[in-house]
Structure 1
Amino acid sequence: MSDWAHSSADRATREGVAAEIRGWIPAAADSPIYSRLAAEVCEDPVLLDVVARIDNVPPMNLLFGAVQFLRGGALPSVPYGEFRAFVLAHEEEIVRIGCTRRTQTNEARRCAVILPFVANAVAGFGDGARAHAIDIGTSAGLNLCLDRFAYDYGAGVVGDSALVLGCENRGGFALPSGVPQFASRTGLDLSPIDVEDADAVAWLEALVWPEHADRLKRLRAAIAIRRQTPVTMIAGDALETLAGVVEALPAGEPALIFHTIALYQLPAEAQATLDDIVASLAETRPLARVSFEPRHGSLFPLIHVGARPYDSPAVAQGHHHGAWLDIPPTPAPLAV
């Protein structure tokens, strides 16, 4: 996991909480409002104590998300004192929200980051293959509409949809000529988002950073498409549900498993167990896995492929919100 996604800092001390926030701030560079307020929280013992009570990751995303959720809209560029007063006036509710809700996927543009690798995986199943798509940490199932979006990498549009997702292809990756089609779509999540539930959708909107009006518009367009797309949503721990989902698919038909900035919330032992499960399932049918996750040593999430994706080097890195796709960073040399 990358440092911004999870910190090993001592959360029991104010110094540890401040260190965790400082590690998060570079990943919030796209939000001047959040970056400024977070920097001031680092110097505020009272608000550091509030953040320490949010026993969840990443705590600052949850703190700011809770503030926007309770305000009912984007947080403007208010003075720190006004922000501080709001947090303290709603402290108990903010802590409750932060401890019980999750930073669930609300950015459909991540589909643009994984599309080249998903398309390549599906092509590997054979001409005309239609894979059964399974999204781990699916949230509202937006990524399972990957085959119902269109994509603009700057050299023509791939696919045909009311929602065109723009992504800068900085790495010069080979792009598919079309969007692969899915035979079925299944989303796994501890707390799946019902796109017909206004409160649940409001939480997804609250997780959009305040300056990102384009992201909010894109989220609403993606939700409209999701409401017209058949998806099987399964609540529960993927370690307990994934095998049953794959085993229930028609014998011999290919399965495509993917996840985007979701598994960082699992401890290392659980991630290793998931790798074991996927590797075992890969022995029973054609199967591919695409991972877009934070990793230690990289500011931006990395894309890996394979049943045990992290046994091999990353194939790409991408912007957290799908703005660009690039070659992976060069690994640091081993210490001697």
Structure 2
Amino acid sequence: MDSPAWRADNRADLDQVARSVTTWIESALDSPLYAFLASRISQDPQMLALVGAIDNAPPLNLLFAGVQLRLNTADPLAAWYPHLAGADARPPDADAYAAFSAYALDHAAELIEMGSTRRTQTNEVGRSAAILPWLVEAADAWGAPVHLVDIGASAGLNLCLDRFDYDYGDKTVSAINPSATRLTLQCENRGGFALPDSAPAIATRTGLDLAPIDAMDADATAWLEALVWPEHTDRLERLRAALAIRRDTDVRMVAGDAAVSLLETEANLPPGPMLVFHTVMAYQLAATQRDAIDASLAEVATRRPVARVAMEPVRGAGYLYLYTGLSYATAQVRAGAHAHGRWIDNVA
């Protein structure tokens, strides 16, 4: 799992920062506004210095989310944000960049502080549709309810995956544990993969995160909304629906280092298989942290059945890879997927 270079190793080197911005654009093509702004940032020394000052990763996600969190319809910049301006939103142009850079530089200190202290905990519930076939594959092999564990769970929305409906185009999968709020996730099955008849039966749900987000906290969920790209009004609607489902679901959230909390979680679970997954989390880890998680999973495997499904970005690829396997070294690539779960396909 070779993560993309979305952050410069030397944040004071503006050439390095510019290259990291250019690399990041490959993952942002679904947002014409963000892709356009990033292309202009890559050539603007003042804005590159601001990006470099954000001591976190990926800095562009954090910068854009910080601006969006503060933005309201009264700000001139809102004219280019479809979730604020609606059908009247202006297409990206030179005026958009002038307004954005002026806004960002005027609020630079606050945006740097926000970006350096918050995390890109995008809780993209659409990824449940992408990983579901491989989660079910593992669960079916055991024939028993699973203890579902999400590493980097944010607010734990994807731990509610048995409460969602799925539309793959060639097949629909209905929730086996429906909530009063209904949510249908759409994912095009471009690769012709075998699809499950239902989600796995879940015995317990546990979310591991360095700083779990409280789904009941309005400020915390506002940050989740700010992480949604401005053109993606459909994602914003499903995020809000998923939050309603999450508030109606029993999920245990555990704060701390996943390598440690995995073992603590497993020790306190009733008997039964453990199904571990993570989505767009591993790029934030150092190699030693990845190895520690691998070691913890290997230890868990000595005591109970365990499987792992990962959906992670890869250097040089314009989409995510879906893996199965307990370790990074031995993980098998099973498919490619859109970053927000809009499609699954064979890897080219």
**Contact 1:154–1:168 at 8 Å: present in 2 too?**
yes
**Contact 1:291–1:309 at 8 Å: present in 2 too?**
no
Q: Name the residue aligned to 1:271.
A: 290
CA RMSD of aligned residues (A): 1.6
What amino acid maps onto 1:139 in structure 2? Answer: S
The answer to whether the aligner puts 1:192 opposite 2:192 as a matched pair is no
The answer to whether the aligner puts 1:38 opposite 2:38 as a matched pair is yes
Q: Give the TM-score normalised by structure 2.
A: 0.90
Q: Name the residue aligned to 1:211.
A: 231
For 2:346 and 2:281, how far apart are their aligned partners in 1?
21
For 1:208 and 1:305, how far apart are their aligned partners in 2?
27
Matches within 5 A, 1:25-174: 25-72=25-72, 76=81, 77=92, 79-126=96-143, 129-160=144-175, 161=178, 162-174=182-194
Q: Deviations over 1:284-324 (max 9, x none)?
A: 10111111112334332211112115414301111100000
For 1:255 and 1:170, how far apart are their aligned partners in 2?
29
For 2:290 and 2:103, how far apart are their aligned partners in 1?
37
For 1:7 and 1:90, how far apart are their aligned partners in 2?
21
Q: Deviations over 1:35-80 (max 9, x none)?
A: 1111111111111110000111111111100000111577625621
Unaligned runs of 5+ in 1: 330-336
Q: Secondary structure at the match of 1:19?
A: helix
Q: Secondary structure at the match of 1:178?
A: coil
Shift of 1:9: 5.2
Taking every aligned residue pair, what percent have the same amino acid on both sides?
Answer: 49
Q: Name the residue aligned to 1:317.
A: 336
What amino acid maps onto 1:35 in structure 2? Answer: A
Select 1:288's aligned residue among 307, 315, 322. Answer: 307
Shift of 1:250: 1.5
Q: Secondary structure at the match of 1:298?
A: coil
**Equivalent pairs, count:** 326
For 1:310 and 1:157, how far apart are their aligned partners in 2?
34
Unaligned runs of 5+ in 2: 82-91
For 1:318 and 1:58, how far apart are their aligned partners in 2?
20
For 1:247 and 1:289, how far apart are their aligned partners in 2?
18
Stretch of structure 1 that moved more, 134-143 or 308-317: 308-317
Q: Secondary structure at the match of 1:311?
A: coil
Point out 4+ residue stretches in structure 1 off by more than 6 angstroms: none
**Contact 2:7–2:17 at 8 Å: present in 1 too?**
no
Q: Secondary structure at the match of 1:314?
A: strand
For 2:31 and 2:253, how far apart are their aligned partners in 1?
32
Q: Give the TM-score normalised by structure 1.
A: 0.93
For 1:96 and 1:120, how far apart are their aligned partners in 2?
43
The answer to whether the aligner puts 1:23 opposite 2:23 as a matched pair is yes
What amino acid maps onto 2:136 in structure 1? Answer: A
